[in-house]
Structures are given as structure tokens and as C-alpha cells.
Chain A
Amino acid sequence: MTQRSVLHLREGEWAYIQSLEELDLTCRLLTLGVLPKSKVQLVRKAPFGGAYYLKINENCVAVRTEEAKHILID
């Protein structure tokens, strides 16, 4: 089975973050509060695609597709 990322979530669905791939992105994601073992919800997708509105604990962040695919979930 391939590893699932937040891209696999449907709008409104949530899961636990397992790990973050891609070293360069990880630093920035961590400082924004995107932490392993946290609960992540895909709130909605951007109107013109390409970006995702995520909610992690009580933090809301927006990430691009290329960034979101490195946020792996259980």
C-alpha cells in the first residue's frame, strides 16, 4: 500500500500526521505548527486549485500541492 498524504483526504476529513518528508520543507512546516502526531484536517481546497487550507490543532495554514504531498498521514 502506498503511503497516504493529506492530498488523499476529502474536504472536511481529518487524520493524524505520521511524518514529514523532504528535509527542506520540514523545517518551515514544523515552525508553522505542522507537527508529527498532530491531528490534521483538510478544511477546503483553493478556488483555483493548487493550494490547501489545513487545520492542525488550532492552527490554520495554507500549503501548495507540492508541499502538502510531503505531509504523510496514518
Chain B
Amino acid sequence: MPDSKRYTVGLVGNPNAGKSSIFNLLTGLRQHTGNFPGVTVDKKIGVSILPNGDKVDVLDLPGCYSLYPNTSDEKVVLEVLTNPENEDYPDLIVFIADVNHLERHLLLATQLHDLGIPLIIAVNMIDTIEDASNPQLHLIAQRFKTPVIGVSGKTGLHFQELKFLIQEALFPAKIEPEQSKSALFYELGLDELRLAEMTGEVTGIKNIYQNLVIAHHSTWLGHLTPYQKAEIESARRALGFERVRMQIHETMARFSQIQPLVSKVVSNNVPKALYNYTDRLDKVLTHKYLGPVIFFLINFLIFNAVFSWAQYPMEWIETSFTDVGGYTRYLLGSGWISDLLVDGILAGLSGVLVFVPQIFILFLLIALLEESGYMSRAVYMFDNIMRRFGLNGRSMVALISSGACAVPAIMSTRTIGNWKERIITIMVAPLISCSARLPVYALLVGFVVPLKRIWGFINLQGMVFMGLYLLGIISSLLVAWVFSRYIKSDSRSHLMIELPQYKPPSAKNVFFTVKEKVWAFVVNAGQIIMIISILLWVLASFGPSDNMEKASERARTEAINLSLSEDEASNLEAAYKLESSYAGILGHAIEPAIRPLGFDWKIGIALITSFAAREVFVGTMATIYSVGSAEDDKTIRQKMAEEKRRGSEIKLYSPATALSLLVFYVFAMQCMSTLAVTKKETGSWKWPIIQLLYMSAMAYFSSLLIFQIFGP
């Protein structure tokens, strides 16, 4: 069978039902992540090989509680399941339920049953009840007229059997006469029936419940044409159909069917100590005083880990790229091709990859917390504080991630259901000091305060560092508050979240999550950083007419006059060339604008070159002050310290200038990757442009303020 005609098996289930474990077991390494068309919801798809050797596509649909969705993730499930024309419309649904929450989870199963799509029910976490063979699962099978099997995503119990069931459902050994269908779980009322029929006339869909669900959601379903929408809308109005009331009525009716069934199925099952264990942990972890303290302690540990563990691989990546660059130059000789390769392409690549260790570690630790169930506790504890600033408890998680890199942080806002709260989180996330600002802070902090301890234990520079981080955090909350006054909300904000039982994270799930995030960063941010890196290389390597040749000549003459060594001479040449290049000219051009901030044209060049990524600042400073490599922090600092304000004896890098520059870097939106991700996640250029403008304005005016107060 050709690939395009392969059967699709859709995995559906409530959040926390253990869907990803099952998906990973079914597909293993044969999986990838894409996007559902038109929305930024991850689409996880993989291939599973059935016992008979046939391959099927497995689609992991986002977790949802019912066919009445609240978040964009849940809406995707509706888009797919109500549209038989959709390329992802499953031939078979495997529904994953948690045996400990059968009553609540089976609600969605009854809805899927009524949709008329072939169904298998896999009752997950069967290993968590005392006697795994005990639950009367056949009672569910009888009522649903569908195969039911107890499995465990954790231990892999009954996995082969599940695959057999999938195989039997898709490739029946003998063609059976039309299977006797079981009765619908929900008997539609007269009005509902009429509405479903009228909808069916417009959509051409046969299943009565599918039509009812479409009628409920006709205003936003993407696969309906404007004509269909208008027709359904007028049918709804003609019947005086009360959407919400009918939803509640339906849900209650379904529960009244499930409750007696479930009580028979699990009457004798004593859950293992799981609950007890969650209760006891939560007594401490969500405690009034201890809870927040533990939360901040955990975050402190995460940050420590991100910075200290990542240091070695980062150094290794940088040295490797320097080595490869040196070798390339050696192979190709000098000339613009090798310059482009080394200073443009390789530099850009290294700029992307150097962040991978930090992002990897951060997401590893966050995935562990997420998988264990701790994150929803953080949402619960901090919801009230975050709400005062127009944010949501979930924003907390994004803002923490932002401390490593705003790119993955912005991607993680997809779980925020309320559009307004999500946009605000995206807008302020880049204000949190990310790891790319660190090298800049490290280079400049020495000009603000000396490396000294007060009272024997407080490190002054450490204090300034902390101050810069705090400045980022406080300003992000304030800006969020300002945004919340101006952005209109499209829906009511609510908390109402499940606090799942704690469970040990599954290594497999964590591995796939981390892999996915790191890859998303490399691809999304990588493309943009590469392009800008090449563009900046052009700006810094070429100048109008014969500017560059003149600069080289001037440097050579000067080198001979001062009898410099060969290395010193070439460093001097690089510095002069940069000054004469387009970047240098731009730096001079913006000097009048940045002089009130205490900056000169050299800093101007660095501001321009670090527009793509902040950490480029250090490298540019190295070139301007003709220091061979950016590694040589000490020498750059020395040269900067000697620098005088033009036409005077006053030092350029006074504490005021340095502080002004530091504050500039706290606020400025100098990260093309973040802007690109904001564009992608919000779906319009409006938001990245607002982000760029407000952050640049904040940077400019705060630096201006600082320099005017503390400057000469």
C-alpha cells in the first residue's frame, strides 16, 4: 500500500491520561512534530508497525476533556473529528482513559462513540490498582460494543495485545456483516434532532451527533464555508437553540449513563498508595508558606544548573567552531569567500548552537517538573499574583523559561487558553534577562563597581548582577500590567485546572519533549540568526568606494611607524577596516542620537551588530579594540578602560556610561529570533513590531535617564 493511503489511528484522551507514553510506545523513534494547518498547535505524528507487519500512521491529538473545547489545543481535536475531509481524520480512534478516573474520562469516550468513528478503549495505568485483572472491563466493552483493554504506558503491559486490536479493527480477517451498533449514549432532544438534521443538509455529513457538535461550534470551525455557517446560524436562531444550556444537559445525561457503569466496573478496586502519596507531598509542596519557598528554591537550583552545567559544552562548541574556522581559512587562504564562510556562516551557526546546552538543560528540568505533575501546583499557587498583572498562573512557567531563552518560553505559552493573557505573556517574556545577556553583563559590570566584598561576604558585582535580573523581572510585570489595560479580552479568563497525581516522570516522554524543543529552537531561531549573521558580515566587511583599502593602508603605515608585531598589525587593520565599513559609518551616523546616553560611535557599531543577538556585543568590542579574539575578556576590558571620551581626558567607560549601557541591554529588543517566534506564534507582524518598538523605547529612555542623572 502506498504511504499516502496508510490508515490513520488517532489517539484521543484527557490531559494527564498518559497519552504521550502510549504514543511513544506505539511509535518509538519513528515520530516527528509538525503543525496543524493555520494554528500553532503541535501535531505529533508517528508510524507504528502492527504485528502483521503493516504500517499505520499514529496521530497524537492534543489532550481534551470533552467535545466542548476551551483552549486552542482542544479546538484542534474538534476541527479534525468533525471533518471527514480533513487529512488527519482518523480511520480508528484509540481512546486512552486513566483507570483511576474512569468516570470523568469516559465522558469523552461516550461522545466519540456517538460520533460513529471506530473506537478502541485503552484503560491506562492498570498497574496502579491492586489487582490488574480485577476491573470488569468487559462491562465497558458490552455497553460501548467496542474492544476494551487494560494497558500500562509505564510498564508496557498488554502492548502487543493493543496492537493486535488495532490490526483487527483496521484489517479484519473476514468481512463481517454490518456490526450491530450500540445505542447512542445521548438521545438527542427534538430541537437538537431538528438542528442536527438541518446541519446535515448543509454539511452532507450523515452522523447525527457529528452534525449536532458542528452546530454547537459552527461559529469558529475552520472547515465550514461562510455559506454553511450562515445556514447553521439561522437554523439555530429559528429553533431558539440555547447552546450552553444544551451542552450542560448533554453532559449531565452522559454522566448519568456512565456513573452506574463505572461503579460496577471498579467497585472492588483499591488504588495503590498513589493518592495518599500525592496528598502527603502536596501538604508540603503547596503549603501556605513552605510551598512558595520550595518553588523558589527549585528555580534557584534550575538556574544554577543551567549556568554551571552548560558552561563546559558551550566552551567546547565555541572552541570547536574557532578551530574549524581556522582550518577553513588555512584551506581557502584569505579572501572574501573564506571571510564569508568563517565570519558569516560559521559564526552564525556557532551563535545558534552555543545556546543548545542551556536550552537542553532548562527544558530537561522543566519537562521533569511538568511530567511529575508539579507545574500545575505552581500555576495554582501563583495564579492570584500573576492575575494582578494581567497574566495567568501558567505565565509563570513561561517567564521562568525566559531566564534561559525567550524563544522556547514564547513557544510554551500555547497552553494559556485565554488569548489576552497569552499575548501579554509573549510580549513581556523577552524582558526577563536571558542567558545571551550574561556575557554582556559580565564584560561591563566591572566598570560599574569594583570586584569587592562588603562585610566580608556580599560580592558587589554579584549585587549588580542580581539588580539587573530583578530589573528585568519587575519591569516585565509592570509592562504586563500596562498591556492588560489596553488589550481587549476575547473571552473570560479562568483557572479551573486539574491537579494530577504525582508520578515519577517517564524518561522516554522527557527525552522526546526535550528533543522536540531543542530542535524547534535550532530550526526557528537558527534560520534567522544565520541570515542576520551574514547580513551583518556584509555590513562589517564592505564599505563605500575604496574606503576599505584606504583603511588597510593607513593601518599598515601606522604599524610600521610603531613597529608592531604581525598579530598586532593585523588586529589594528581589522579595527580600522571596521571603522570604515558600512557598519562603522552607521555607528558614526547614530552617534548624535546615543551621545546623551553616554555612548560613542564604537558602542554604536556594537549596538548595530548585536541587533541580531546580544552576545555579539562582546565579539564586536574585541574587533573594535583590535583584540584578536573575544575569548580574551581581560584584554578587551583593559582596552576599554583606557578609552577616553573624544577630545578630553575623561574616561569613556565611566560607571555612568557602563551602567547606562547595562540597563540598555536589560530592556533592548536585540534578538531577531525572539521577534521571529513572536511573529510565528501570534500569526501577525503587529505584535513583533510593537514588541520591538516598546522595548527599544524603554531601553533608550532608561539609559538616557541613568546617564543624565549619574553622568558628568
Tell me if B496 and A63 are in contact (CB < 8 A).
yes
Tell me if A30 and B255 are in contact (CB < 8 A).
yes
Q: Does A26 contact B (CB under 8 A)?
A: yes
Interface residue ranges of A36-58 to B (CB < 8 Å): 36, 43-51, 53, 57-58
Bound-state CA distance A32–B393 (Å) is 18
Q: Which residue of A lies closest to B382 (CB)?
A: A48
Contact flags B461-502 to A (C-beta < 8 A → 1, else 0)? 000000000000000000000000000000010111111110
Chain B CB count within 10 A is highest, among A31, A48, A51, A67, for: A31
The smallest beta-carbon distance between B109 and chain A, in angstroms, is: 13
Count, A-B residue pairs, CB within 8 A: 112
Q: Does A64 contact B (CB under 8 A)?
A: yes
Tell me if B103 and A33 are in contact (CB < 8 A).
yes
Known interface pairs A47-B292, A51-B380, A58-B275. Does A29 touch B496 (Cβ–Cβ under 8 Å)? yes
Residues of B with C-beta under 8 A to A43: 282
The smallest beta-carbon distance between A29 and chain B, in angstroms, is: 7
Known interface pairs A23-B248, A30-B252, A47-B289. Does A61 touch B499 (Cβ–Cβ under 8 Å)? yes
Q: Which residue of B lies closest to A29 (CB)?
A: B496
Residues of B with C-beta under 8 A to A61: 496-499
Contact flags B55-79 to A (C-beta < 8 A → 1, else 0)? 0000000000110101000000000
Q: Does B107 contact A (CB under 8 A)?
A: yes
Give the residue of B65, B245, B286, B287 whose beta carbon is less than 8 angstroms from that of A32.
B65
Residues of B with C-beta under 8 A to A46: 286, 380-381, 383-384
Residues of A with C-beta under 8 A to B286: 44, 46-47, 53
Q: Does B100 contact A (CB under 8 A)?
A: yes
Q: Which residue of B lies closest to A20 (CB)?
A: B248
Known interface pairs A32-B65, A62-B380. Does A24 touch B492 (Cβ–Cβ under 8 Å)? yes
Tell me if B384 and A49 are in contact (CB < 8 A).
yes
Residues of B with C-beta under 8 A to A63: 495-496
Q: Does B376 contact A (CB under 8 A)?
A: yes
Q: Does B299 contact A (CB under 8 A)?
A: no
Contact flags B426-443 to A (C-beta < 8 A → 1, else 0)? 000000000000000000
The smallest beta-carbon distance between A23 and chain B, in angstroms, is: 4
Bound-state CA distance A30–B256 (Å) is 12
Residues of B with C-beta under 8 A to A67: 494-496
Tell me if A27 and B288 are in contact (CB < 8 A).
no
Interface residue ranges of B342-385 to A (CB < 8 Å): 376, 379-385
Majority SS at the chain A contact face: mixed
Give the residue of A28, A31, A53 whose beta carbon is less than 8 angstroms from that of B380.
A53
Tell me if A30 and B100 are in contact (CB < 8 A).
no
Tell me if A31 and B65 are in contact (CB < 8 A).
yes
Residues of A with C-beta under 8 A to B499: 53, 60-62
Tell me if B251 and A31 are in contact (CB < 8 A).
yes
Q: Does A72 contact B (CB under 8 A)?
A: no
Q: Does B711 contact A (CB under 8 A)?
A: no
Q: Does B145 contact A (CB under 8 A)?
A: no
Tell me if B495 and A31 are in contact (CB < 8 A).
no
Q: Which residue of B lies closest to A36 (CB)?
A: B252
Residues of B with C-beta under 8 A to A23: 244-245, 248
Q: Does B387 contact A (CB under 8 A)?
A: yes
Residues of A with C-beta under 8 A to B83: none
Known interface pairs A46-B383, A47-B292, A53-B286. Does A64 touch B494 (Cβ–Cβ under 8 Å)? yes
Residues of A with C-beta under 8 A to B498: 32, 59-61
Bound-state CA distance A63–B559 (Å) is 72
Known interface pairs A28-B494, A31-B66. Does A62 touch B248 (Cβ–Cβ under 8 Å)? no
Interface residue ranges of B227-266 to A (CB < 8 Å): 244-245, 247-248, 251-252, 255
Bound-state CA distance A36–B382 (Å) is 28
Give the residue of B245, B255, B496 whose beta carbon is less than 8 angstroms from that of A25.
B496
Q: Does A6 contact B (CB under 8 A)?
A: no
Q: Does B596 contact A (CB under 8 A)?
A: no
Tell me if A27 and B379 are in contact (CB < 8 A).
no
Tell me if A30 and B383 are in contact (CB < 8 A).
no
Residues of A with C-beta under 8 A to B104: 31-33, 59
Contact flags B490-532 to A (C-beta < 8 A → 1, else 0)? 0010111111110000000000000000000000000000000
Residues of B with C-beta under 8 A to A26: 244, 248
Bound-state CA distance A43–B70 (Å) is 26
Residues of B with C-beta under 8 A to A25: 494, 496
Q: Does B547 contact A (CB under 8 A)?
A: no
Tell me if A58 and B101 are in contact (CB < 8 A).
yes
Residues of A with C-beta under 8 A to B101: 33, 58-59
Give the residue of A27, A49, A64 whose beta carbon is less than 8 angstroms from that of B251.
A27
Q: Which residue of A lies closest to B107 (CB)?
A: A31
Q: Does B271 contact A (CB under 8 A)?
A: yes
Q: Does B628 contact A (CB under 8 A)?
A: no
Residues of B with C-beta under 8 A to A35: 255
Tell me if A64 and B495 are in contact (CB < 8 A).
yes
Bound-state CA distance A51–B393 (Å) is 11
Contact flags B81-106 to A (C-beta < 8 A → 1, else 0)? 00000000000000000001101100
Bound-state CA distance A49–B492 (Å) is 20
Tell me if B271 and A58 are in contact (CB < 8 A).
yes
Add 5 more A-B contacts to A25-B494, A28-B496 (CB < 8 A): A26-B244, A28-B494, A51-B384, A58-B271, A60-B498
**Can you identify 23 A-B contacts, CB atoms within 8 angstroms?**
A27-B68, A28-B65, A30-B252, A31-B65, A31-B66, A32-B498, A33-B101, A35-B255, A43-B282, A44-B286, A47-B289, A48-B385, A51-B393, A51-B495, A58-B100, A59-B104, A60-B278, A60-B282, A61-B498, A61-B499, A62-B376, A62-B496, A62-B497
5 closest residue pairs by CB, A with B: A50-B384, A31-B65, A62-B380, A60-B499, A33-B104
Could you list which residues of chain B lie within 8 angstroms of chain A, going by C-beta atoms?
Answer: 65-66, 68, 70, 100-101, 103-104, 107, 244-245, 247-248, 251-252, 255, 271, 275, 278, 282, 286-289, 291-292, 376, 379-385, 387, 393, 492, 494-501
